[in-house]
Amino acid sequence: MRKLSCIITDDEPVACKVLKEFIEQVPYLQLTGQFENVRKTDLFLKENKADVLLLDIQMPGITGLEYLKNATIQPLVILTTAYPNYALEGYELNIIDYLLKPIAFDRFTKAVQKAKEYTELREAPLGNHQSPWLFVRSEKRIEKVELKDILYIESLGNYVNICTTGRNIIAYLTLKGIESQLPANEFIKIHQSYLVNFSKIDSIEGNHLKIGDKSLVISRNYKDELMQMVEQKLLRR
């Protein structure tokens, strides 16, 4: 496993010092940048690649959450903050984890371990679609999932619900992380919270589609791409 490049964005020198020391203690992490605001972070990411962004929320000017809502280039994000009330909003933006200050080292290692696992999944051979299945971590087990059995995948913040023909699997992944490992011509995002197996769609009516007895909402932002795929399969006179 290669080292994960990390950048810190925090306007508090003490918090930066702690995170820097933590990174130095984890063999698979490497600090490649440290910034006191998101503008400098954004400029850095336009010219450089980073795997993990340790991002504070409350900073002068643009907050960490405001940045995430508009960022076009985004590594895996771990929020670091003294405020617990932003957790739900953070997970809705597909962050990897949410660390409350003062941050304990063991809690930090759990967060970066998630980032490591996501990166390994994303860079695994499955990304070349060489395998019809994948493994996911669910509770204390690692479960095998056949791609052909997946009906849809639902985002649950820091987890996903993989709904298959025979069972539901709650996996410790983000929707963004698992989407990058699935064949783009077979799985399509229809909503910020839903990824569906195109071959399992039974019908589409208005802004809803049906898969079995489940009706899913199609977001306006994703409908055009869905309908383009449908057009390719649509029979005509």
pLDDT digits (tens, 9 = 90+) for 8-52: 999 999 999 999 999 999 999 999 999 999 999 999 998 898 999
3-state secondary structure of 237: coil
pLDDT digits (tens, 9 = 90+) for 47-68: 898 999 999 999 988 999 999 9
pLDDT score recorded for residue 143: 83
Please state the rounded mean pLDDT for residues 57-82: 89
Confidence of residue 121 (pLDDT cuts 50, 70, 90): low
R_g of the chain computed on alpha carbons: 19
> Rounded CA gap, 224 and 54, in Å?
34
What is the secondary structure of 30-62 as a DSSP string? Answer: EEEEEESSHHHHHHHHHHS--SEEEEES--SSS
Task: List b or e across 193-205, with b for residues whose CB sees 16 or more CB atoms inside 10 angstroms.
Answer: bbbbbbebbeeee
Structure pTM? 0.58
pLDDT digits (tens, 9 = 90+) for 149-194: 999 999 988 789 999 999 999 988 888 888 878 888 899 999 989 9
pLDDT at 126 over 50: no
- Domains of the chain plus CATH, in order, are 4-122 (3.40.50.2300), 129-233 (2.40.50.1020)
pLDDT digits (tens, 9 = 90+) for 95-117: 888 999 999 999 999 999 988 88
Confidence of residue 127 (pLDDT cuts 50, 70, 90): very low
pLDDT score recorded for residue 131: 65
Distance of CA 225 to the CA centre of its chain: 20
